[in-house]
Amino acid sequence: MIEPVQLPPPWCDARVTVVVPTYNEAGNLPVLVERLLALPLPALHILIADDNSPDGTGDVADKLATDHPERITVVHRPGKEGLGRAYVDGIGRALDAGADYVAQMDADLSHPPEALPGMLGTLLSTSAGVVIGSRYVPGGQLDEAWPLYRRALSGWANFYVHSLLRVRIRDLTAGFKIWRSDVLRDIDLGRVQSNGYSFQVEMHYLATRLGHTVLEVPIRFADRLDGTSKMTTATKVESALMPFRLRSKHRGVGRD
């Protein structure tokens, strides 16, 4: 586990909301919340968007919110509608509540919460609109436990999307990032239609189309220790088709 960066005031007091979508993450969520609340970011808020998890994740989230009412909000969604829809809902609520910066991260502990202060510092010290915790820039790592087929699938997915969309981001499918709120408003969540993991690609694509600077910083991506992956065949098919749809759908957005 890395040691979090100690940011100076007023940076350490920035109003950051971390949006965490959940589905069957009852075992991981308390650990993630404990690590997030331990960060040297006293104004950090956590918004958990649960898709009616049958394993009781929503109840776990409610208990955490009861224990930390000033720092945790829980959104109970009607059912499993996918990662993208949960993020659109959660990010929209974070913006409505006045967050200056919005972070995205998975609930399965694959993203190191301790990297978040450093990512915020990079965002605040540059003109970047979003900072990505990247597996594929120098210094980035994949968990040694990742099997070869997962490494190959992830690498191929990034190469495939790069080839079609020509976006200069190494980790286009990354799910760990922090945004400026004005950039999210410029993107306009209402135009984002992707679900599953292609949601990440669409957000990155729109940010670059609109001229916002995207920076990547290295992280170590860990393998989950509890629960199972939510990657389905339908998700893979959607991700394969999405670059073609994005080029057509967003042709009039931003640059030519």
The whole-number pLDDT of residue 241 equals 60
Strands (E), 119-208: 130-134, 141-142, 177-180
Instruction: Specify the CATH number for the domain of residue 33.
Output: 3.90.550.10
pLDDT mean over 57-73: 98
Query: Which of 174, 172, 150, 149 shows the shortest CA–CA distance to 162?
Result: 172
Per-residue pLDDT tens over the stretch 110-161 = 999 999 999 999 999 999 999 999 999 999 998 777 667 666 667 667 777 7
pLDDT mean over 161-166: 71
Per-residue CA distances from 64 to 30, 43, 46, 136, 255 (Å): 7, 17, 10, 34, 44
Total domain count, the chain = 1
Is position 213 within any domain?
yes
β-strands 214-218, 130-134 pairing = parallel
The whole-number pLDDT of residue 129 equals 98
Is position 215 within any domain?
yes
Is position 172 within any domain?
yes
Is position 169 within any domain?
yes
Please, which residues have CB within 8 angstroms of residue 185's CB and are 6 or more apart in sequence? 95
Is position 119 within any domain?
yes
First vs last Cα of the chain: how many Å apart?
43
Q: Map residue 170 onto helix, strand or coil.
A: coil
Is position 216 within any domain?
yes
The whole-number pLDDT of residue 66 equals 98
The whole-number pLDDT of residue 163 equals 67
Tell me what the pLDDT averaged over the chain comes to.
Answer: 88
Does residue 103 have a pLDDT over 70?
Answer: yes
| 221 bridge partner residues | 142
The whole-number pLDDT of residue 194 equals 83
Per-residue pLDDT tens over the stretch 168-183 = 899 988 999 999 999 9
Domain hosting 69: range is: 11-249
The whole-number pLDDT of residue 251 equals 59
Are the C-beta atoms of residues 221 and 111 closer than 8 Å to each other? yes
Per-residue pLDDT tens over the stretch 174-225 = 999 999 999 999 999 998 988 877 889 899 989 999 999 999 999 999 987 7
Does residue 242 have a pLDDT over 80?
Answer: no
Per-residue pLDDT tens over the stretch 13-38 = 999 999 999 999 999 999 999 999 99
* Most distant CA atoms of the chain, gap in Å: 50
Is position 158 within any domain?
yes
Does residue 233 have a pLDDT over 60?
Answer: no
Is position 96 within any domain?
yes
Q: How far apart are CA 118 and CA 94, in angstroms?
A: 21
